Amino acid sequence: MHAYTASRISLPSHSAQPGLPETFDPAPAQPVSFFAAGAEIYAQGEKAGAFYQVEFGAVRIYRLLADGRRQISAFHLAGETFGFEADSTHHFFAEAINATGVRVLRLATGAEMARQLLPLALKGLTRAQEHLLVLGRQNAIERVAAFLVDMAERQGGLRQVELPMSRMDIGDYLGLTIETVSRVFTRLKDKGVIRLLNLRSIEILKQDALHCMSE
Amino acid sequence: MHAYTASRISLPSHSAQPGLPETFDPAPAQPVSFFAAGAEIYAQGEKAGAFYQVEFGAVRIYRLLADGRRQISAFHLAGETFGFEADSTHHFFAEAINATGVRVLRLATGAEMARQLLPLALKGLTRAQEHLLVLGRQNAIERVAAFLVDMAERQGGLRQVELPMSRMDIGDYLGLTIETVSRVFTRLKDKGVIRLLNLRSIEILKQDALHCMSE
DNA sequence: CGAATAGTTGACCGATGTCAATGAAGGTGG
DNA sequence: CCACCTTCATTGACATCGGTCAACTATTCG
């Protein structure tokens, strides 16, 4: 049982992005906030009133038990959206994993907003439910394999996969300890399924084998 | 690793309910379908085009792995709504646990529908994410305690709680085996926290202790 | 270059799964 | 209405996967 102590590492600079070239956004330009690695985007219990789109970097969404055990329910990479809640309160914590920029989208109320948000909420629901299957019924190898397959898909299905998060983050996402995550990485490496380019990026050598392991 | 073999036990009678007294429903009356215990309401892969409100009985939503391992992602009791999907395909199975009546609500498209559906989707998302914490980071006693607390709350917070589902269903919801569920029930009974009135209903004797155990 | 942080590896332990036997409950037909 | 049979739940003995603790190594950052 490992304890996790949350700490506000640095404050975001809530200012609009000035002069960077950007892809065209049909919605009226919204401010982009920057967060340093480990910075809190919002906390459980805080008032919710916006949702967020990742411009660059990566975000972890998590919850804590009283004794510090942490469960990360989702990672969000560039282009993905998070932060909507059932009521006007955040039920989870959101933190930047690395230096991260998020576009803050103020919540309009009304049917048009619901129309935009619903598909995102439903996609998130499906993702969460699929993750339940992993946590409830898969063993350590299957969990890590499923995680790598998912990360690979979200990065365009390339052989090389960037893992912006630490082993502890991966463990807290998969319901495992860092030691077990590490051991499974080693086993996959020894089997020739993956290659560790460095701590934060892997190459998938046997796509089929990995898919197979993830069930 | 236990195998679960799904089987269509009986077909639903897709007919409107004729002469039963009903509580007033502001929406135009929709047909109610009846399902026998174990009957399939929809299957993974089927075309989705409606959502469902439980009139009476109970429903399990689940997914299977290739080798038969099953994860129940949610139970739905009377009054609750389920069946909406991110795209037009069901990603899960839905089965009646007991004799169950569900009101079938055909999906209108458009903003007004989204406005109605969004809160339900968001509520479901929050529930699923909270369940992730249970599956990822809590031990067997905590899981069962959390389950009982949840069931009690959803039944009005009474001391006596009805469990419409089998031990296997509970196990497949909590990521445990039936043996472990049974052993935890016995431990809670021996500690005087609960009393087993019969297989499908319990009495909570120490509400605080149970809350405490569920973290 | 050195200290601090993150990751890996090994030895051991315990919680939960597996397998098997027993007991209780519910449904069906005589 | 009862007896039997089937299904479901409980209990025990044992195995195993993953957690814990500790030592060591690699990486990053000042």
Closest CA to B145 of B184, B179, B199, B177: B184
- The two three-digit tokens of residue A115, written as one number: 């129309």
- pLDDT of res. B108: 74
Percent pLDDT > 70 in chain A is: 87
For residues A197 and A102, give the distance between their C-alpha atoms in angstroms, rounded to a whole number. Answer: 28
User: Which residues of B fall within a CB distance of 8 Å from A110?
Assistant: 115
Q: Which pLDDT belongs to residue B163?
A: 96
Chain A contact for B140, CB < 8 A? no
What pLDDT does A21 receive? 37
Cα distances from A27 to residues A17, A52, B34, B189, in angstroms, run: 15, 14, 46, 58
* pLDDT in the model for residue B161: 96
Residue B111's pLDDT is 76
Residue among A128, A130, A125, A87 nearest B84 (CA): A125
Q: Does B212 touch chain A (CB under 8 A)?
A: no
Better-predicted residue by pLDDT, B31 or B141: B141
Q: Helix, strand, or coil here: B81?
A: strand
Domains by residue range for chain B, with CATH: 7-131 (2.60.120.10), 136-214 (1.10.10.10)
Query: Encoding tokens for residue B95?
Result: 């089965």
The tens digit of pLDDT for each residue in A139-155 reads 999 999 999 999 999 99
Backbone angles phi, psi at A115, to 5 degrees: -60, -35
Residue B123 has pLDDT above 80, yes or no: yes
Q: At what angle do helices B140-154 and B178-190 cross, to 10 degrees?
A: 80
Give how far B154 is from chain A: nearest CA, Å.
Answer: 17
Question: How close B21 comes to chain A (CA, Å)?
Answer: 33
Contact A60, A4 (CB under 8 A): no
Judge contact between A115 and B108, C-beta under 8 A: no
Mean predicted confidence (pLDDT) in A120-143 = 97
| A137 Cβ under 8 Å from any chain B Cβ | yes
* Integer CA distances (angstroms), B110 to A15, A105, A106, A150, in order: 35, 22, 22, 31
Q: Please state, for a pLDDT cut of 90, what percent of chain A lies above it.
A: 78
> Which pLDDT score, from 0 to 100, does residue A66 have?
94
Q: pLDDT digit string (tens) for B174-192? A: 999 999 999 999 999 999 9
Structure tokens of A11?
Answer: 């404050």
State mean pLDDT over B192-206.
95
Handedness of CA B106, B110, B112, B113 (dihedral sign): positive
Alpha carbons B82 and A113: distance in angstroms, whole number: 22
pLDDT at residue number B56: 95
Measured distance CA(B112)–CA(A112) in Å, rounded: 8
Task: Give the residue with greater pLDDT, A23 vs A56.
Answer: A56
For tokens 């038990």, the residue is: A65
Predicted pLDDT at A29: 65
| Residues forming beta bridges with residue B94, ordered by sequence position | B42, B61
Mean pLDDT throughout B36-60? 95
| pLDDT confidence bin for B126, thresholds 50/70/90 | very high
DSSP string, B11-55: --B-----S------SSPP--EEEE-TT-EEE-TTSBP-EEEEEE
Q: Residue B112 — very low, low, confident or very high, per pLDDT cuts 50/70/90?
A: confident
Average pLDDT of the residues of chain B: 88
Residue environment code for B9-38, b if the CB has 16+ CB neighbours within 10 A, otherwise e: eeebeeeeeeeeeeeeeeeeebebbbbeeb
Judge contact between B59 and B112, C-beta under 8 A: no
In this structure, what DSSP letter does residue A37 have?
T
Bridge-based pairing state of the strands B201-204 and B100-106: unpaired
Mean pLDDT of B196-213: 95
Comparing A3-17, A109-123, A194-208, B191-205, the range with the smallest average pLDDT is A3-17
Q: Residue A28 has what pLDDT?
A: 55
B140 touches strand C (CB under 7 A): yes
Instruction: Give A-chain residues touching B61 at CB under 8 angstroms.
Output: 129
The mean pLDDT value for B25-32 works out to: 65
pLDDT tier at A83 (50, 70, 90 boundaries)? very high
